[in-house]
Amino acid sequence: MDNQGIYVGLDIGTTSIKVIVAEAVQGQMNVIGVGSQRSEGVSRGVIVDIDKAVAVIQAAVAQAEDKANIKIDRVVAGIPANMLQIEQVSGMIAVGEENKEISDNDVRSVAAAALVRNLPPERETLSLVPTEFIVDGFDDIKDPRGMLGVRLEMRGIMLTVPKTVIHNTKKAIEKAGLRVGGLVISPLAIGRLALTDGEQDFGTVLIDMGGGQSTAAVIHDRKLKFTSVDQEGGEYITKDISVVLNTSFTDAEKLKREYGNADSLATSEEETFPVTVVGKHEPAMISEKYLSEIIEARVAQIFKRLRKALDAVNALELPGGVVITGGTTALPGVTELAQDIFDRPVKRFIPDDMGLRHPSFTEGLALIKYAAQMTDIEMLVSSVLPTPFMVDGAQIPSSSPSPAPQKQPEQTAASEGQRLVKRKPDKQTDKTKSKEPSALRRFFGNFFE
User: Is residue 215 located within the same domain as residue 305?
Assistant: yes
Answer yes or no: are the C-beta atoms of 295 and 261 closer than 8 Å.
yes
pLDDT at 414 (0 to 100):
33
Q: Specify the number of domains making up the chain.
A: 2
Q: How confident is residue 3, by pLDDT bands cut at 50, 70 and 90?
A: low
- Rounded distance between C-alpha atoms, residue 413 and residue 393, angstroms: 36
The reported pLDDT for the residue numbered 416 is: 32
Q: So what's the pLDDT on residue 444?
A: 47
Pairing relationship of beta strands 284-287 and 272-275 according to DSSP bridges = antiparallel
User: Which pLDDT tens digit goes with each residue over 10-30?
Assistant: 999 999 999 999 998 877 889
Residue 56 pLDDT > 90:
yes
pLDDT at 34 over 60: yes
Higher pLDDT, 93 or 444: 93
**pLDDT of 354:** 80
pLDDT at residue 71 greater than cutoff 50: yes
Question: d(Cα 136, Cα 114) in Å, to the nearest integer?
Answer: 17
- What local confidence, expressed as pLDDT, does residue 343 receive? 96
pLDDT band per the 50, 70, 90 thresholds, residue 44: confident
Percent of the chain's residues with pLDDT above 90: 80
Length of the chain: 449
pLDDT, residue 117, reads 81
Q: Which residues contact 348 (CB under 8 A, 6 or more apart)?
A: 323, 324, 325, 329, 334, 335, 359
Co-location of 154 and 237 in the same domain: no
The 10s digit of each residue's pLDDT in 224-274 is 999 999 999 999 999 999 999 999 999 999 999 999 999 999 999 999 999
Across 59-70, average pLDDT: 96
Is residue 392 very low, low, confident or very high in pLDDT (cuts 50, 70, 90)? low
Among 22, 20, 2, 1, CA closest to 11 = 20
Residue 439, pLDDT above cutoff 50? no
Q: Is residue 380 part of a domain?
A: no
pLDDT, position 308: 97
Q: Does residue 414 belong to any structural domain of this protein?
A: no
Task: Using pLDDT thresholds of 50, 70 and 90, give the confidence band for residue 427.
Answer: very low
Please indicate, yes or no, whether residues 283 and 137 belong to a single structural domain of this protein. no
- Claim to verify: residue 132 and residue 244 sit in the same structural domain: no
Task: Please give the Cα distance from 38 to 371 (Å, whole number).
Answer: 25
> Is 337 found in the same domain as 423?
yes
Listed residue (412, 308, 325, 302) closest to 82, CA to CA: 412
Is pLDDT above 90 for 429?
A: no
List the helix and strand counts (H, then E) for the chain: 12, 18
Both 224 and 343 in one domain: the answer is yes
Q: Which secondary structure element, helix H or strand E, spans residue 311, and what is its range?
A: helix 288-311
**Predicted confidence band of residue 2 (pLDDT cuts 50, 70, 90):** low
Residue at a domain's end among 146, 162, 178? 162
Residues 314 and 214 in one domain: yes
Q: Which residues contact 261 (CB under 8 A, 6 or more apart)?
A: 267, 288, 291, 292, 295, 331, 332, 333
- Specify the pLDDT at position 391: 67
How many Å apart are CA 303 and CA 420, to the nearest integer? 12
435 shares a domain with 288: yes
**What residue type is assigned to position 178 of the chain?**
L
pLDDT band at 411 (very low <50, low <70, confident <90, very high): very low
- Tell me the residue range of the domain where 312 lies: 197-348+419-449
Residue 179 has what pLDDT? 96
The arithmetic mean of pLDDT across residues 90-103, rounded, is 88
Range of weakest confidence among 15-29, 206-220, 421-435: 421-435
Domain CATH code at residue 148: 3.30.1490.110
What phi and psi values does residue 419 have, to the nearest 5 degrees? -70, 155
Among 178-187, 362-371, 408-417, the minimum mean pLDDT is found in: 408-417
Query: Crossing angle for the helix pair 288-311 and 249-259, nearest 10 degrees?
Result: 90
Same domain, 224 and 125: no
With respect to residue 145, please indicate whether it lies within any of the assigned structural domains.
Answer: yes
Q: Poorest-confidence range of 23-27, 235-239, 296-300, 313-317? A: 23-27
Segment 122-167, tens digit of pLDDT: 999 999 999 999 999 999 999 999 999 999 999 999 999 999 999 9
Res 408 pLDDT > 60: no
